[in-house]
Amino acid sequence: MKLDQFENDGIVVDKALGFWLNRVYQRLRTDMYRAFAERGEDVTPEQWMVLIRLWEREGLTQSELSDLTLRDAPTMSRIVQGMEERGLLERRKSPEDARVRTVFLTKTGHALRKKLVPVARMLVERAVRGIPERDLRTFRSVLERMFENLEP
Amino acid sequence: MKLDQFENDGIVVDKALGFWLNRVYQRLRTDMYRAFAERGEDVTPEQWMVLIRLWEREGLTQSELSDLTLRDAPTMSRIVQGMEERGLLERRKSPEDARVRTVFLTKTGHALRKKLVPVARMLVERAVRGIPERDLRTFRSVLERMFENLEP
DNA sequence: GGCCATTACTTGCATTGACAATAATATACC
DNA sequence: GGTATATTATTGTCAATGCAAGTAATGGCC
Protein backbone atom coordinates (compact mmCIF):
# COMPACT_ATOMS: atom_id res chain seq x y z
CA MET A 1 0.00 0.00 0.00
CA LYS A 2 1.38 3.34 -1.07
CA LEU A 3 2.11 5.78 1.70
CA ASP A 4 0.66 9.27 1.82
CA GLN A 5 -2.47 7.83 0.40
CA PHE A 6 -4.94 9.05 2.93
CA GLU A 7 -5.48 12.71 3.50
CA ASN A 8 -8.08 14.09 5.88
CA ASP A 9 -8.41 17.83 6.04
CA GLY A 10 -4.67 18.16 5.94
CA ILE A 11 -3.86 15.26 8.20
CA VAL A 12 -1.81 12.91 6.11
CA VAL A 13 -2.29 9.74 8.04
CA ASP A 14 0.77 7.80 7.05
CA LYS A 15 2.97 10.76 7.89
CA ALA A 16 1.26 11.51 11.17
CA LEU A 17 3.56 11.42 14.15
CA GLY A 18 1.08 9.59 16.33
CA PHE A 19 0.70 6.90 13.72
CA TRP A 20 4.44 6.27 13.56
CA LEU A 21 5.00 6.53 17.26
CA ASN A 22 2.33 3.93 17.83
CA ARG A 23 3.76 1.74 15.12
CA VAL A 24 7.29 1.72 16.45
CA TYR A 25 6.39 1.59 20.11
CA GLN A 26 4.03 -1.31 19.63
CA ARG A 27 6.47 -3.31 17.58
CA LEU A 28 9.33 -2.65 19.96
CA ARG A 29 7.17 -3.79 22.85
CA THR A 30 6.06 -6.96 21.11
CA ASP A 31 9.61 -7.80 20.05
CA MET A 32 10.79 -7.47 23.59
CA TYR A 33 8.02 -9.61 24.97
CA ARG A 34 8.74 -12.31 22.40
CA ALA A 35 12.48 -12.18 22.95
CA PHE A 36 11.98 -12.74 26.67
CA ALA A 37 9.41 -15.46 26.09
CA GLU A 38 11.71 -17.28 23.67
CA ARG A 39 14.21 -17.52 26.48
CA GLY A 40 11.62 -19.00 28.75
CA GLU A 41 10.95 -15.86 30.77
CA ASP A 42 7.38 -14.69 30.87
CA VAL A 43 8.28 -11.10 31.67
CA THR A 44 6.33 -8.24 30.10
CA PRO A 45 8.09 -5.03 29.07
CA GLU A 46 6.21 -3.26 31.84
CA GLN A 47 7.49 -5.73 34.39
CA TRP A 48 10.91 -5.24 32.88
CA MET A 49 10.73 -1.54 33.67
CA VAL A 50 9.96 -2.38 37.29
CA LEU A 51 12.84 -4.86 37.44
CA ILE A 52 15.28 -2.25 36.15
CA ARG A 53 14.29 0.14 38.90
CA LEU A 54 14.56 -2.51 41.58
CA TRP A 55 17.94 -3.79 40.40
CA GLU A 56 19.13 -0.27 40.98
CA ARG A 57 17.47 0.21 44.32
CA GLU A 58 15.33 -2.16 46.37
CA GLY A 59 12.72 -1.18 48.88
CA LEU A 60 10.98 1.31 46.61
CA THR A 61 7.35 1.91 47.43
CA GLN A 62 4.64 1.24 44.89
CA SER A 63 3.98 4.92 44.47
CA GLU A 64 7.67 5.56 43.82
CA LEU A 65 7.54 2.85 41.17
CA SER A 66 4.44 4.50 39.72
CA ASP A 67 6.25 7.82 39.41
CA LEU A 68 9.39 6.29 37.95
CA THR A 69 7.54 4.33 35.31
CA LEU A 70 4.72 6.82 34.68
CA ARG A 71 1.99 4.34 35.50
CA ASP A 72 -0.92 5.23 37.71
CA ALA A 73 -1.31 3.64 41.11
CA PRO A 74 -3.90 1.01 40.14
CA THR A 75 -1.78 -0.14 37.21
CA MET A 76 1.33 -0.43 39.34
CA SER A 77 -0.63 -2.22 42.01
CA ARG A 78 -1.62 -4.90 39.55
CA ILE A 79 1.78 -5.15 37.89
CA VAL A 80 3.63 -5.78 41.13
CA GLN A 81 0.89 -8.12 42.26
CA GLY A 82 1.43 -10.18 39.12
CA MET A 83 5.17 -10.13 39.65
CA GLU A 84 4.70 -11.22 43.24
CA GLU A 85 2.55 -14.15 42.15
CA ARG A 86 5.28 -15.10 39.71
CA GLY A 87 7.83 -15.01 42.48
CA LEU A 88 9.87 -12.12 41.08
CA LEU A 89 9.44 -9.87 44.09
CA GLU A 90 7.75 -9.56 47.44
CA ARG A 91 5.89 -6.71 49.09
CA ARG A 92 6.49 -5.83 52.71
CA LYS A 93 4.46 -3.52 54.86
CA SER A 94 6.49 -0.48 55.78
CA PRO A 95 7.14 -0.32 59.52
CA GLU A 96 6.96 3.48 59.51
CA ASP A 97 3.77 3.88 57.52
CA ALA A 98 1.15 1.18 57.54
CA ARG A 99 -0.31 2.36 54.23
CA VAL A 100 2.91 1.79 52.33
CA ARG A 101 4.12 -1.42 50.74
CA THR A 102 7.80 -1.54 49.89
CA VAL A 103 9.02 -3.85 47.16
CA PHE A 104 11.97 -6.24 47.29
CA LEU A 105 13.31 -8.64 44.70
CA THR A 106 13.43 -12.35 45.29
CA LYS A 107 16.37 -14.49 44.28
CA THR A 108 14.53 -15.18 41.04
CA GLY A 109 14.05 -11.49 40.41
CA HIS A 110 17.73 -10.82 40.93
CA ALA A 111 18.77 -13.69 38.71
CA LEU A 112 16.86 -12.29 35.75
CA ARG A 113 19.27 -9.43 35.50
CA LYS A 114 22.11 -11.45 34.04
CA LYS A 115 19.77 -13.24 31.71
CA LEU A 116 17.64 -10.42 30.35
CA VAL A 117 19.91 -7.39 30.19
CA PRO A 118 21.88 -8.74 27.20
CA VAL A 119 18.62 -9.51 25.43
CA ALA A 120 17.34 -5.98 25.92
CA ARG A 121 20.62 -4.55 24.76
CA MET A 122 20.51 -6.69 21.64
CA LEU A 123 17.00 -5.44 20.87
CA VAL A 124 18.02 -1.81 21.12
CA GLU A 125 21.07 -2.42 18.99
CA ARG A 126 18.96 -4.01 16.34
CA ALA A 127 16.41 -1.21 16.47
CA VAL A 128 18.98 1.54 15.91
CA ARG A 129 21.10 -0.36 13.42
CA GLY A 130 22.32 1.89 10.64
CA ILE A 131 21.03 5.10 12.17
CA PRO A 132 23.70 7.79 12.58
CA GLU A 133 24.50 8.76 16.15
CA ARG A 134 23.71 12.37 15.29
CA ASP A 135 20.19 11.47 14.19
CA LEU A 136 19.64 9.44 17.33
CA ARG A 137 20.57 12.42 19.45
CA THR A 138 18.11 14.56 17.53
CA PHE A 139 15.51 11.83 17.88
CA ARG A 140 15.90 11.72 21.62
CA SER A 141 15.79 15.48 21.99
CA VAL A 142 12.60 15.66 19.94
CA LEU A 143 11.02 13.03 22.15
CA GLU A 144 11.99 14.96 25.25
CA ARG A 145 10.68 18.20 23.84
CA MET A 146 7.40 16.59 22.79
CA PHE A 147 7.01 15.18 26.25
CA GLU A 148 7.43 18.63 27.78
CA ASN A 149 4.91 20.05 25.35
CA LEU A 150 2.20 17.63 26.41
CA GLU A 151 -0.18 17.72 29.38
CA PRO A 152 1.49 17.78 32.77
CA MET B 1 14.38 13.15 40.07
CA LYS B 2 17.71 13.51 38.39
CA LEU B 3 18.05 11.89 35.02
CA ASP B 4 20.74 9.36 34.20
CA GLN B 5 20.42 8.11 37.70
CA PHE B 6 19.84 4.50 36.99
CA GLU B 7 22.40 2.46 35.21
CA ASN B 8 22.15 -1.26 34.64
CA ASP B 9 25.05 -2.92 32.94
CA GLY B 10 25.33 -0.02 30.59
CA ILE B 11 21.63 0.55 30.05
CA VAL B 12 20.98 4.05 31.27
CA VAL B 13 17.30 3.82 31.88
CA ASP B 14 16.30 7.42 31.58
CA LYS B 15 18.12 7.68 28.30
CA ALA B 16 16.77 4.47 26.89
CA LEU B 17 14.85 4.82 23.68
CA GLY B 18 12.11 2.45 24.72
CA PHE B 19 11.57 4.39 27.88
CA TRP B 20 11.10 7.65 26.03
CA LEU B 21 9.04 6.16 23.25
CA ASN B 22 6.69 4.68 25.78
CA ARG B 23 6.55 7.94 27.69
CA VAL B 24 5.67 10.10 24.73
CA TYR B 25 3.37 7.61 23.07
CA GLN B 26 1.40 7.01 26.24
CA ARG B 27 0.98 10.67 27.02
CA LEU B 28 0.01 11.53 23.47
CA ARG B 29 -2.59 8.80 23.54
CA THR B 30 -4.03 9.87 26.86
CA ASP B 31 -4.16 13.52 25.82
CA MET B 32 -6.07 12.60 22.71
CA TYR B 33 -8.54 10.46 24.59
CA ARG B 34 -9.15 13.24 27.11
CA ALA B 35 -9.46 15.91 24.46
CA PHE B 36 -12.15 13.90 22.70
CA ALA B 37 -13.90 13.09 25.96
CA GLU B 38 -13.94 16.74 27.01
CA ARG B 39 -15.89 17.45 23.87
CA GLY B 40 -18.38 14.78 24.75
CA GLU B 41 -17.11 12.17 22.32
CA ASP B 42 -16.17 8.85 23.80
CA VAL B 43 -13.82 7.91 20.97
CA THR B 44 -10.57 6.12 21.72
CA PRO B 45 -7.42 6.88 19.71
CA GLU B 46 -7.65 3.39 18.25
CA GLN B 47 -11.19 4.04 17.09
CA TRP B 48 -9.95 7.35 15.73
CA MET B 49 -7.49 5.51 13.51
CA VAL B 50 -10.33 3.44 12.11
CA LEU B 51 -12.46 6.53 11.53
CA ILE B 52 -9.65 8.21 9.58
CA ARG B 53 -9.41 5.24 7.25
CA LEU B 54 -13.16 5.08 6.74
CA TRP B 55 -13.54 8.79 6.08
CA GLU B 56 -11.11 8.25 3.28
CA ARG B 57 -12.73 5.13 1.92
CA GLU B 58 -15.79 3.25 3.07
CA GLY B 59 -16.48 -0.39 2.57
CA LEU B 60 -13.08 -1.56 3.80
CA THR B 61 -13.03 -5.08 5.16
CA GLN B 62 -11.97 -5.80 8.69
CA SER B 63 -8.76 -7.39 7.53
CA GLU B 64 -7.95 -4.33 5.42
CA LEU B 65 -8.50 -2.21 8.50
CA SER B 66 -6.23 -4.55 10.45
CA ASP B 67 -3.46 -4.10 7.92
CA LEU B 68 -3.85 -0.35 7.71
CA THR B 69 -3.78 0.15 11.46
CA LEU B 70 -1.38 -2.66 12.35
CA ARG B 71 -3.81 -4.38 14.66
CA ASP B 72 -4.33 -8.10 14.55
CA ALA B 73 -7.64 -9.55 13.44
CA PRO B 74 -9.11 -10.25 16.89
CA THR B 75 -8.29 -6.74 18.07
CA MET B 76 -9.86 -5.18 15.02
CA SER B 77 -12.88 -7.39 15.39
CA ARG B 78 -13.47 -6.04 18.88
CA ILE B 79 -12.73 -2.43 18.00
CA VAL B 80 -15.24 -2.30 15.17
CA GLN B 81 -17.73 -4.24 17.28
CA GLY B 82 -17.47 -1.55 19.94
CA MET B 83 -17.84 1.17 17.34
CA GLU B 84 -20.87 -0.55 15.91
CA GLU B 85 -22.51 -0.72 19.34
CA ARG B 86 -21.83 2.99 19.71
CA GLY B 87 -23.49 3.63 16.39
CA LEU B 88 -20.39 4.94 14.62
CA LEU B 89 -20.41 2.34 11.88
CA GLU B 90 -22.13 -0.74 10.60
CA ARG B 91 -20.85 -4.03 9.26
CA ARG B 92 -22.36 -5.61 6.19
CA LYS B 93 -21.76 -9.08 4.86
CA SER B 94 -19.93 -8.98 1.59
CA PRO B 95 -22.04 -10.32 -1.27
CA GLU B 96 -18.99 -11.75 -3.03
CA ASP B 97 -17.39 -13.47 -0.08
CA ALA B 98 -19.47 -14.72 2.79
CA ARG B 99 -16.51 -14.67 5.16
CA VAL B 100 -15.95 -10.96 4.78
CA ARG B 101 -17.60 -8.11 6.64
CA THR B 102 -17.25 -4.69 5.06
CA VAL B 103 -17.49 -1.61 7.20
CA PHE B 104 -19.52 1.54 6.54
CA LEU B 105 -19.89 4.70 8.58
CA THR B 106 -23.21 5.82 9.97
CA LYS B 107 -24.34 9.42 9.88
CA THR B 108 -22.89 9.77 13.38
CA GLY B 109 -19.57 8.39 12.23
CA HIS B 110 -19.42 10.84 9.36
CA ALA B 111 -20.38 13.76 11.56
CA LEU B 112 -17.43 13.20 13.87
CA ARG B 113 -15.06 14.24 11.16
CA LYS B 114 -15.84 17.93 11.36
CA LYS B 115 -15.80 17.83 15.11
CA LEU B 116 -12.68 15.79 15.85
CA VAL B 117 -10.23 16.61 13.07
CA PRO B 118 -9.52 20.11 14.42
CA VAL B 119 -8.99 18.66 17.88
CA ALA B 120 -6.46 16.15 16.59
CA ARG B 121 -4.69 18.82 14.61
CA MET B 122 -4.48 21.03 17.68
CA LEU B 123 -2.94 18.18 19.67
CA VAL B 124 -0.24 17.57 17.08
CA GLU B 125 0.52 21.26 16.85
CA ARG B 126 0.93 21.45 20.58
CA ALA B 127 3.12 18.37 20.65
CA VAL B 128 5.57 19.70 18.06
CA ARG B 129 5.56 23.31 19.25
CA GLY B 130 9.00 24.85 19.11
CA ILE B 131 10.62 21.91 17.35
CA PRO B 132 12.47 22.84 14.13
CA GLU B 133 11.02 21.36 10.96
CA ARG B 134 14.40 19.85 10.17
CA ASP B 135 14.46 17.95 13.46
CA LEU B 136 10.95 16.69 12.86
CA ARG B 137 11.99 15.30 9.51
CA THR B 138 14.92 13.54 11.14
CA PHE B 139 12.61 12.31 13.86
CA ARG B 140 10.24 10.78 11.36
CA SER B 141 12.99 9.18 9.33
CA VAL B 142 14.48 7.61 12.46
CA LEU B 143 11.07 6.19 13.37
CA GLU B 144 10.70 4.74 9.90
CA ARG B 145 14.15 3.24 9.98
CA MET B 146 13.59 1.74 13.41
CA PHE B 147 10.37 0.23 12.20
CA GLU B 148 12.16 -1.43 9.31
CA ASN B 149 14.83 -2.72 11.64
CA LEU B 150 12.33 -4.52 13.83
CA GLU B 151 10.64 -7.89 13.38
CA PRO B 152 8.63 -8.22 10.19
C1' DG C 1 -8.20 14.79 71.57
C1' DG C 2 -10.94 14.91 67.39
C1' DC C 3 -12.46 16.21 62.82
C1' DC C 4 -10.88 16.56 58.06
C1' DA C 5 -8.12 16.60 54.14
C1' DT C 6 -4.46 13.92 52.14
C1' DT C 7 -1.96 9.89 50.84
C1' DA C 8 -1.20 4.83 49.63
C1' DC C 9 -3.13 1.27 47.90
C1' DT C 10 -6.93 -1.74 46.04
C1' DT C 11 -11.05 -3.05 43.34
C1' DG C 12 -14.43 -2.50 39.56
C1' DC C 13 -15.34 -1.50 34.84
C1' DA C 14 -14.20 -0.89 30.04
C1' DT C 15 -10.88 -0.92 26.20
C1' DT C 16 -6.77 -2.44 23.88
C1' DG C 17 -3.50 -5.95 22.86
C1' DA C 18 -1.08 -10.60 21.85
C1' DC C 19 -1.64 -15.35 21.23
C1' DA C 20 -4.22 -19.70 20.58
C1' DA C 21 -8.00 -22.06 18.95
C1' DT C 22 -12.31 -22.37 16.37
C1' DA C 23 -16.00 -21.82 12.69
C1' DA C 24 -17.17 -20.75 8.20
C1' DT C 25 -16.02 -20.04 3.64
C1' DA C 26 -13.04 -19.93 -0.44
C1' DT C 27 -9.34 -21.65 -3.33
C1' DA C 28 -6.00 -25.00 -5.18
C1' DC C 29 -4.93 -29.19 -6.77
C1' DC C 30 -5.55 -33.82 -8.04
C1' DG D 1 -15.98 -33.53 -7.72
C1' DG D 2 -13.54 -33.79 -3.43
C1' DT D 3 -10.09 -33.18 -0.27
C1' DA D 4 -6.43 -30.30 1.57
C1' DT D 5 -5.02 -25.72 2.45
C1' DA D 6 -5.65 -20.83 3.13
C1' DT D 7 -8.28 -16.87 4.49
C1' DT D 8 -11.75 -14.10 7.32
C1' DA D 9 -13.62 -13.35 11.36
C1' DT D 10 -14.77 -14.61 16.17
C1' DT D 11 -14.12 -16.15 21.03
C1' DG D 12 -11.26 -17.18 25.14
C1' DT D 13 -7.44 -16.08 28.13
C1' DC D 14 -4.37 -13.06 30.26
C1' DA D 15 -2.05 -8.57 30.91
C1' DA D 16 -1.83 -3.40 30.75
C1' DT D 17 -4.22 0.92 31.04
C1' DG D 18 -7.19 4.87 32.61
C1' DC D 19 -10.82 6.52 35.42
C1' DA D 20 -13.87 6.29 39.38
C1' DA D 21 -14.78 4.74 43.77
C1' DG D 22 -13.57 2.62 48.00
C1' DT D 23 -10.56 1.41 52.26
C1' DA D 24 -7.10 2.29 55.49
C1' DA D 25 -3.85 5.10 57.65
C1' DT D 26 -1.47 9.56 58.29
C1' DG D 27 -1.06 14.34 59.40
C1' DG D 28 -2.73 19.07 60.05
C1' DC D 29 -5.30 22.14 62.59
C1' DC D 30 -8.41 23.76 65.94
Per-residue pLDDT of chain B (152 residues; tens, 9 = 90+): 333 444 555 455 555 888 999 999 999 999 999 999 999 999 999 999 999 999 999 999 999 999 999 999 999 999 999 999 999 999 999 998 999 999 999 999 999 999 999 999 999 999 999 999 999 999 999 999 999 998 76
CB A28 within 8 A of CB A127: yes
Whose CA is closest to A139, among B49, B145, B110, B31? Answer: B145
Query: Rounded to an integer, what distance in angstroms lies between the CA atom of residue B81 and that of residue B90?
Result: 9
- Find which of A3, A13, A17 to mutate to test the B interface (most B CBs within 10 Å of its CB): A17
Please tell me whether any atom of strand D lies within 7 Å of the Cβ of A99: yes
pLDDT of residue A104: 97
Query: Rounded to an integer, what distance in angstroms lies between the CA atom of residue B57 and that of residue B70?
Result: 17
Please tell me whether any atom of strand D lies within 7 Å of the Cβ of B34: yes
Q: Which of B68, B127, B136 is facing A150, going by the closest CB pair?
A: B127
Query: Rounded to an integer, what distance in angstroms lies between the CA atom of residue B53 and that of residue B87?
Result: 17
Chain C: nucleotides under 7 Å from a protein CB? Answer: 7-12, 15-21, 23-27
Please tell me whether any atom of strand D lies within 7 Å of the Cβ of A1: no
Query: Rounded to an integer, what distance in angstroms lies between the CA atom of residue B73 and that of residue B78?
Result: 9
CA distances from A129 to A119, A133, B22 (A): 15, 10, 20
Length of chain B: 152
Whose CA is closest to B62, among B51, B75, B76? Answer: B76
Summarised one tens digit per residue, pLDDT across range A57-82 is: 999 999 999 999 999 999 999 999 99
Q: Which of A124, A142, A150 is facing B131, going by the closest CB pair?
A: A142
